[in-house]
């Protein structure tokens, strides 16, 4: 049936288009849900129209059967009354309704099949939409977790970079210490070497007189 095939083609095309152009699953499923809801409204409208057609053809079939029964009864009454001519007229009319009845039965069969298919599609789409609502919630939750993990990964990367910077700073400190040690060593090498004799001379250059001798000398000077 045209509407069913067209609906399937539209939904397949819409899904593929969304998958091709959308990178955010949560946004994609929102858009998909919107389209499914719109398509459900269209299917509901088409289903109602086809179900109405089924009822119309069913009514025509019943009305035709009533006419067949009517003219069959009239033909029998005419025969009972001995009027074969009238009976033939009624039988001809009955046959006309029987001929059209076959076409009506075929039309009803097609309308009934279409109505059943559309009703099944409508019910399935309605149930799928309810299921998708829950799945959309799950998808959004997963996307939120994924985005949080991405942020954590970025922070972790920044921490790694900071750790690398600290290690580089430590290496610069070590290099500065080595440079200072080398400079101090060069300064020590540039100093005059110590003279052992001069050091001993300074040691013994002081007065060697005892305190008693100094006291006696002071008394003499004072006339005591």
Express each pLDDT in 149-165 by its tens digit: 877 877 776 666 656 66
What's this model's pTM, rounded to 2 decimal places? 0.48
Calculate the average pLDDT of the chain. 78
Question: How much is the pLDDT for 7?
Answer: 54
Tell whether 120 is covered by a domain.
yes
Is residue 69, in this structure, part of any structural domain at all? yes
Burial class (CB in 10 A: 0-12, 13-18, 19+), 43: buried
Say if 24 falls within a structural domain: yes
Residue 157 in any domain: the answer is no
Alpha carbon distance 212, 219 (integer Å): 11
> Does the residue 202 lie in any domain?
no
Any domain includes 203: no
Q: Which domain holds residue 85?
A: 2-143
Considering just the CA atoms, what is the radius of gyration of the chain in Å? 57
Of 139 and 129, which is predicted with more confidence? 129
Residues 6+ apart with CB under 8 A from 26: 136, 139, 140, 143
Q: Is the pLDDT of residue 16 over 90?
A: no
Q: Is residue 191 part of a domain?
A: no
Q: What pLDDT, in 10s, does the model give residues 37-71?
A: 888 888 888 889 999 999 999 999 999 999 999 99
Q: State the sign of the Cα–Cα–Cα–Cα dihedral 139, 145, 151, 152.
A: negative
DSSP 223: T
| Local confidence band at 1 (pLDDT 50, 70, 90 cut-offs) | very low
Instruction: Provide the pLDDT for residue 59.
Output: 96
Domain total in the chain: 1
């Amino acid at each position: 049936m045209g509407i069913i095939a067209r609906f399937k083609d539209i939904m397949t095309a819409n899904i593929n288009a969304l998958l091709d152009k959308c990178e955010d699953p949560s946004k994609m499923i929102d858009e998909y849900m919107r389209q499914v809801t719109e398509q459900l409204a269209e299917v509901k409208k088409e289903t109602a129209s086809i179900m109405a057609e089924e009822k119309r053809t069913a009514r025509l079939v019943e009305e035709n059967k009533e006419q067949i029964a009517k003219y069959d009864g009239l033909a029998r009454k005419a025969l009972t009354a001995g009027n074969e001519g009238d009976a033939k007229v009624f039988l001809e009319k009955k046959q006309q309704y029987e001929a059209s009845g076959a076409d009506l039965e075929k039309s009803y069969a097609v309308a009934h099949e279409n109505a059943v298919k559309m009703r099944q599609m409508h019910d399935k789409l309605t149930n799928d939409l309810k299921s998708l609502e829950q799945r959309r919630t799950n998808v959004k939750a997963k996307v939120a977790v994924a985005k949080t993990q991405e942020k954590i990964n970025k922070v972790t990367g920044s921490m790694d970079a900071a750790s690398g910077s600290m290690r580089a700073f430590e290496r610069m400190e070590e290099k500065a210490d080595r440079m200072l040690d080398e400079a101090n060593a060069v300064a020590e090498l540039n100093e005059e070497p110590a003279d052992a004799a001069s050091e001993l001379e300074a040691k013994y250059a002081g007065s060697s007189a005892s305190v008693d001798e100094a006291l006696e000398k002071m008394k003499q000077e004072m006339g005591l």
